[in-house]
Amino acid sequence: MKLDKLALTTLLMATFIGLTACQEKGPAETAGENIDNAVEEMGDKVEDATDNAGDTVEEMGDKIEDKTD
Q: Write the CA distances from 69 to 4, 17, 58, 63, integer angstroms.
A: 83, 74, 17, 10
* Verdict on whether the full-model pTM lies above 0.85: no
Residue 8 has pLDDT above 80, yes or no: no
Provide the pLDDT for residue 61: 92
Residue 1 has pLDDT above 60, yes or no: no
Q: pLDDT tens digits for 9-63?
A: 888 787 777 666 666 778 888 899 999 999 999 999 999 999 999 999 999 999 9
Residue 10 CA to residue 17 CA, distance in Å, equals 11
Q: Where are the domains of the chain?
A: 2-68
> Helix, strand, or coil here: 43?
helix
Cβ neighbours of 63 (radius 10 Å): 10
Per-residue DSSP letter, 26:
-
Provide the pLDDT for residue 21: 60
